[in-house]
């Protein structure tokens, strides 16, 4: 029995049902191209944090879907997003991953642009007549660009909802992550870890925000070790919830989790706790004490997981690039940021306890969906007890799949144009 061919021209109702999705959503190349148009070509996409371009002339290369862009701080101090494409013959004007420059020079024919995007001069300009005006040939800015608490987003579409509307209820969880800093600011200055996996991009958010379901199997040793050290009872009822939020966002909410560490807090952590209490008040600060902020997915390409921001970039229907950047907190004792870095290395580093397992399991998933037979993947866990929230989202128990059902409903809506 061969796979039933379902192409991108098919109705999404043929692929997505209330409690299951069709395997072709992970392997159909036509559907992937449609995702680049209808999702990455229209919605707000996370690109960078302002701390990555702190000085005038600093830049980083990024992408909106498959479209290359450059995020650069101009000589006037403003951060701008430009399509990384020369206005002459379309070559890259910026081929380094990051750096500092007063101007960006196309390597093909030498056209040069200021770090504010203006064309400085075409080369051998005696061949151009007076109709050729530099002002008409500056770098093309992203149609929309907006920042939320230092996080830079852009959209390749000139129309659509605002960034605030897009983030919606997820903003409270971004605030929980960023407010762990007594100064209310984070920094992505500790470097970047890169990983490429041979599977569809949608498998990463599905795997990453799962309420620990798969963790009891592929991460069992690590979970037992971490729970022993923190004093957490992972199987305790009603401590952790998994949320779907309108707009395709998902979160694991740990605010009800109780920790009983075996070791007394260090002097640095005591100072940190006292500072948070004073800054925010004990009621809000208690949700920040342990540095275990919510696991958060901002549709379509932003993840925050325990220690780091994870930005991912689709390459093809069965290949994805992932970038891990540890989140450092401004205004904390140095020992706190060292704890974050050591925790990141142990858990998500190249030889960490968790990340390598997840990468391998997603690649196995991509192989598994090639198998002939029943095409449907079941995501019905907890459907009988799913709680509808006033903001249009849903809440489930820590290992339910209500958030995945919400994600796929949003996906179907976008892909239907």
Q: Which domain holds residue 241?
A: 169-415
pLDDT above 90 for 84: yes
- Give a yes or no: residue 235 inside a domain: yes
- All residues at 6 or more sequence positions from 9 whose CB lies less than 8 Å from its CB, including other chains: 30
pLDDT above 50 for 96: yes
Q: What is the DSSP annotation of 165-181?
A: HHHGGGHHHHHHHHTTS
Beta strand extents in 190-240 (DSSP E only): 193-197
Exposed / middle / buried, residue 133 (Cβ in 10 Å: 0-12, 13-18, 19+): exposed
Predicted local confidence at residue 10, as pLDDT: 54
Predicted local confidence at residue 8, as pLDDT: 46
Q: Do both 142 and 224 map to the same domain?
A: no
Mean pLDDT (whole number) for 156-162: 97
Instruction: Show which of 124, 155, 186 is a domain's final residue.
Output: 155
Looking at the structure of the chain, the number of domains it has is 2
Q: Do both 182 and 149 map to the same domain?
A: no
Q: Do both 59 and 175 map to the same domain?
A: no
Which range (54-68, 199-213, 257-271) has the least confidence? 257-271
Q: What does the buried/exposed string (b/e) look like for 33-60 if buried means 16 or more CB atoms within 10 Å of the residue's CB? A: ebbeebbbbbbbbbbbbbbbbeebbbbb
Mean pLDDT (whole number) for 386-392: 94
Mean pLDDT (whole number) for 104-125: 94
Residue 279 belongs to a domain with what CATH number? 3.90.380.10
Helix (H) or strand (E) holding 187: strand 186-187
pLDDT above 50 for 305: yes
- Give a yes or no: residue 11 inside a domain: no
Average pLDDT value for the chain: 91
Quote the tokens at residue 191. Answer: 């470097």
Classify 317 as helix, strand or coil. coil
Instruction: Show which of 120, 155, 190 is a domain's final residue.
Output: 155
pLDDT above 90 for 5: no
Residue 60 belongs to a domain with what CATH number? 2.102.10.10
Q: What is the pLDDT of residues 309-356, one digit of tens each?
A: 999 999 999 999 999 999 999 999 999 999 999 999 988 988 888 888
Closest CA to 143 of 44, 46, 38: 44
Closest CA to 330 of 185, 190, 191: 185
- Give a yes or no: residue 4 inside a domain: no
Mean pLDDT (whole number) for 126-141: 90
Residue whose structure tokens are 């948070």: 276
- Pick the more confident residue, 235 or 300: 300
Q: Do both 339 and 227 map to the same domain?
A: yes
pLDDT above 80 for 292: no
Residue whose structure tokens are 């659509």: 160
pTM > 0.75: yes
Separation of alpha carbons 330 and 96, rounded Å: 28
- Give a yes or no: residue 19 inside a domain: no
Q: Do both 143 and 181 map to the same domain?
A: no
Mean pLDDT (whole number) for 189-210: 96
- Give a yes or no: residue 347 inside a domain: yes
Instruction: Show which of 104, 122, 155 is a domain's final residue.
Output: 155
Q: Do both 294 and 180 map to the same domain?
A: yes
Helix (H) or strand (E) holding 76: none
- Give a yes or no: residue 36 inside a domain: no
Q: Do both 258 and 339 map to the same domain?
A: yes
- Pick the more confident residue, 417 or 383: 383
């Amino acid at each position: 029995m061969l796979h039933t061919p379902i192409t991108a021209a098919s109705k999404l109702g043929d692929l997505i049902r209330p409690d299951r999705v069709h395997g072709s959503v992970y392997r159909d190349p036509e559907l992937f191209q449609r995702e680049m148009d209808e999702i990455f070509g229209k919605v707000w996409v996370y690109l960078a944090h302002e701390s990555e371009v702190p000085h005038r002339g600093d830049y980083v290369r990024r992408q909106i879907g498959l479209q290359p862009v450059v995020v650069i701080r101009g000589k006037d101090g403003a951060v701008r997003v430009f399509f990384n494409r020369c206005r002459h013959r379309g070559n890259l004007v910026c081929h380094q991953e990051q750096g500092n420059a007063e101007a960006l020079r196309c390597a093909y024919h030498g056209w040069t642009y200021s770090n504010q995007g203006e064309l400085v001069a075409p080369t051998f300009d005696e061949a151009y007549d007076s109709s050729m005006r530099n002002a008409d040939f500056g770098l093309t800015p992203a149609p929309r660009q907006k920042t939320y608490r230092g996080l830079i987003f852009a959209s390749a579409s000139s129309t659509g909802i605002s960034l605030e509307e897009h983030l919606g209820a997820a903003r409270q969880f971004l605030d929980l992550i960023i407010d762990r800093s007594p100064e209310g600011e984070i920094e992505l200055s500790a470097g970047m870890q890169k990983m490429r996996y041979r599977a569809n991009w949608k498998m990463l958010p599905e795997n990453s925000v799962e309420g620990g379901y798969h963790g009891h199997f592929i991460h069992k040793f690590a979970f037992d070790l971490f729970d022993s050290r923190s004093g957490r009872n992972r199987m305790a009822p009603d401590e952790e919830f998994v949320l779907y939020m309108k707009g395709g966002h998902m979160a694991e909410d740990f605010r009800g989790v109780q920790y009983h560490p075996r070791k007394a807090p260090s002097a640095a952590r005591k100072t940190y706790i006292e500072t948070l209490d004073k800054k925010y008040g004990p009621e809000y600060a208690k949700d920040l004490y342990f540095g275990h902020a919510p696991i958060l997915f901002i549709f379509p390409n932003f993840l925050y997981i325990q220690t780091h921001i994870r930005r991912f970039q689709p390459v093809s229907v069965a290949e994805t690039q992932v970038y891990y950047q540890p989140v450092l907190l401004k205004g904390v004792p140095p020992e706190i940021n060292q704890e974050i870095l050591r925790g990141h290395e142990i858990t998500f580093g190249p030889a960490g306890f968790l990340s390598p397992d997840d990468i391998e399991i997603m690649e196995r998933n991509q192989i598994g969906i090639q198998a002939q037979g029943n095409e449907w993947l079941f995501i019905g866990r907890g459907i009988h007890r799913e709680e509808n929230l006033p903001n249009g989202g849903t809440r489930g128990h820590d290992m339910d799949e209500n958030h995945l059902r919400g994600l796929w409903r949003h996906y179907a809506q976008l892909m239907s144009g």
